[in-house]
A and B are shown apart, each in its own frame.
Chain A
Amino acid sequence: MRIDRIRLIVQAFCFVFLIYGGILGFSIGNAVPTMACIYAEDRGGACFLYPFQRFMSLPLSTLIGATILPFLIYLGTFFLWGLVFGKAFCGWICPLGFLQDLLTRARQFLGIDGARFRWASRERFQWVKYALLALLILIPMGIGNSLGGLPKLSGDWAVPFCQICPGKPLLPLFSGDTSHLLIDFSSPVKLALTSLLMFLTGVFLIGGFVKRRWFCLYCPMAALLSLFDRIGFVGLKKKGEACTRCGNCYRACPMEIREIADERDRKHMVTQDCILCMRCVEVCPENKALSATLLGFPVFSASAAGFLKRQGCAPPLPIEDFPHDSNSN
């Protein structure tokens, strides 16, 4: 079976679990590094960022005093999740990623061609996720502390990232909750944040339809998970000497990562935007040029035979054991 079909099934399962798991009493905690929205009533687990922003908004003395132990346990849980699954959260688990993939499928079903970034535009936006990450740490800190002698921010700024994350209005919709689809006029800050949220939600839906995984480029969670790109259990390796630089992987990459095709001397291919969807491995026609690895061992490698099979062409005899003996000479 094609990996992207398996992935869709896994995504659907995770989506149902993360949105409805709570009905059956399941929960995998509040430190899950994926956009499983805290506002979804029946959730089976919740996004790391909400409690994280809450922790950050505590006065610094409390954070490193009374709450240091819960905070460290909480960070440790996040670290374990990240270490084991890493960016696989983005490609295989994230509900917002799944929604974007569904939009892409809908577009493909309608036969509408997708859009791609120009190289320069894509590079121009890469700082956004780091800026969002910095803001979602600094703004909450400004609520509990007076940063650099500035006056403290009002409580309206609480959990600022969640206030503008398209998951907030969209994911609760699946449990029938429409209460976050609103523009809040109760204070100027809230008015600004909710207006921005409604705008971004629209952009999310339109952009996700037009371009694959378009919002993932700006996700601060991806910036956080990038910590595990080199040390995570799941990896993506490239064997440069087998690569012809045909560009199939780059064209198929939903994140349009150019390094995957162009860089031959690099072995670890999990880059800052990689979502470990393994689409590149699927469309690579060169034997063992790309491999998905688990703890360093290849679990799924590119092969000419596999490529042809997935492209709908079944060779009458297997051609996968070529080269026969790559270590001789």
Chain B
Amino acid sequence: MIQIQTDRDEKQAKRLSLHLAMSVREIFDRLALEQNRPEAMAPFDTLFKKFAEAPDEILPSRPVKKVGLYCVTVPEELVYAAGALPVRLCAGSTDAAEAGEALFPDVSCPLVKAAVGFTRTGALGFYRGCDLVVIPATCDWKVKLGDLLSRHVPVLMLNVPKHKTTETARLFWYDEIRRLCRALEKLTKTRITRGRLRASISLIHEAQAEFRRFQELRADDLCLISGRDAVEVANAWFYMDAASWTGHVRCLNEELAKRKQRGLGVMPKSAPRVLLTGSPVIFPNWKIPVLIEDSGGALVCDELCSSGRLLWDMASIDEPLYDDMFDALADRSLMPCTCPVFTDATDRRVKLLRMIRDYRVEGVVHHVLKGCHPYDMELRPLEAELAAAGVSQLKIETDYSPEDTEPLRTRIEAFIETLKGRRLKMGGAL
């Protein structure tokens, strides 16, 4: 019986690797035809091509402990301070989602299904190879994910307070972060000292500085970089070492700054500026950004935990002391997080309105993954509030599978046409 099980698993793993490689190649075959892409995207392309060609070489080969993370609410600074390497495991592969499907109800989050698919089959080695997987109990799916994964890897669950404005929530989270710290110390047998904390906060600050500069360049009228490439850059953070990611993004920013001087954008100025918000967009599921830009929209910014929100919020060291730095990390990972699992939706609304103004956005696309209930729940009041502020919106409910691509394309094209029409009506030039 067990033998049969393993045989089936092995078969499934092989099939998954094959399908993953096919979809990755498809993406990069298309990218190869594209002209006018920034050259500094090359290191990111190389990284993601490895998903097809050399899955074992995706992570840096340093002989350190690897700590798998889910969600943005785990401060990566702590992992670096413990001398380990953080790997964000949130997955975007439709084939992996299929491989994990058997364990889930009909309508369930594809991200979690894919993560389980990768872990069960072992098609991507690092899903099982992590020395510890940290899962914050954010949405219902993540709450149950730990149990499914703990059969394959050591799992540490973090309690996340959902009503975060109270004192009890803050103190509780401070303690959870300290618990994580102790677990990491035990794992790497390295004491997280003040100096190490400070250094790792600086490491992330440097990445965040480049990230903010990147976002600022994206806000330019010229559309210096396509939204899909921006998602690629952000997704690369999942798997890259912080220092090398920062280096690559610095090169990219410099190239974009030069392009700005030369007036070289990747989209015509007539392209309506679109903001993408909602459920995460993770490689290789770049369906929505690609569809928006194929339809003639310029994806100038996103409010996604997988890209735009990924490195935005910065921890501030007030006193360079142990307690203060821990609290700073706890605060930065919880307080400004606009994930809809938290009770208060005003932060997200305020942030969206601010982004709409700062990036001169003309239309908002709400991305809801089927089964991603928190975003779905928050959508109706949010839509009403944005509509009251005069924002054009499109709601897309989909999953990772490419089956609905064509109907989606029709809807997105129509939306972009509406935005163009609106710009004409407002007296703008195309």
Q: Which residues of A contact B (CB under 8 A)?
A: 108, 111-114, 118-120, 240-248, 251-252, 261-262, 264, 279, 283, 285, 304, 307-308, 311-313, 315-317, 319, 322-324, 326, 328-329
Contact = CB atoms under 8 A, between A and B. Distances in A.
Contacts, number: 113
B319 interface: yes
Contacts of B360: 328-329
Contacts of B210: 315
B323 A313 contact: no
24 contacts: A113-B324, A114-B321, A114-B323, A120-B167, A244-B347, A245-B335, A246-B313, A246-B335, A248-B314, A248-B328, A251-B327, A251-B328, A252-B316, A264-B346, A307-B314, A311-B205, A313-B202, A315-B212, A315-B213, A319-B209, A323-B219, A324-B220, A326-B357, A329-B357
A252 B325 CA distance: 11
Given A245-B347, A315-B209, A329-B357, A108 B319 contact: yes
B25 interface: no
A283 B331 CA distance: 13
Contact of B316 (A111, A120, A311, A315): A311
Ranked nearest first, the 3 interchain pairs of A and B with the lowest CB-CB distance are A246-B336, A244-B336, A323-B358
Contacts of B336: 244-247
Interface string B145-163: 0000000000000000000
Interface string B298-322: 0000000000000001111111111
B202 A312 contact: yes
Contacts of A262: 165
Contacts of A111: 194, 321
User: For the complex, would chain B's binding face be called helix, strand, loop or mixed by DSSP majority?
Assistant: helix
B140 interface: no
User: For the complex, would chain A's binding face be called helix, strand, loop or mixed by DSSP majority?
Assistant: loop
Given A315-B213, A323-B358, A251 B350 contact: no
A319 B205 contact: no
Interface of B: 165, 167, 170, 194, 201-202, 205-206, 208-210, 212-213, 215-216, 219-220, 250, 253, 257, 313-324, 327-328, 331-332, 335-336, 346-347, 350-351, 353-354, 357-358, 360
A328 B165 CA distance: 33
A323 B208 CA distance: 17
Contact of A319 (B213, B250, B351): B213
Given A241-B350, A241-B353, 20 more contacts: A108-B319, A108-B321, A113-B322, A240-B350, A244-B335, A244-B351, A245-B347, A246-B331, A246-B332, A251-B316, A251-B331, A279-B318, A311-B201, A311-B317, A313-B209, A315-B209, A315-B213, A322-B212, A322-B358, A329-B357
A240 B354 CA distance: 10
A189 B135 CA distance: 63
B212 A317 contact: no
B122 to A, nearest CB: 38
Contacts of B167: 118-120
B350 A322 contact: no
Contacts of B206: 313
A323 B209 CA distance: 15
A72 B106 CA distance: 80
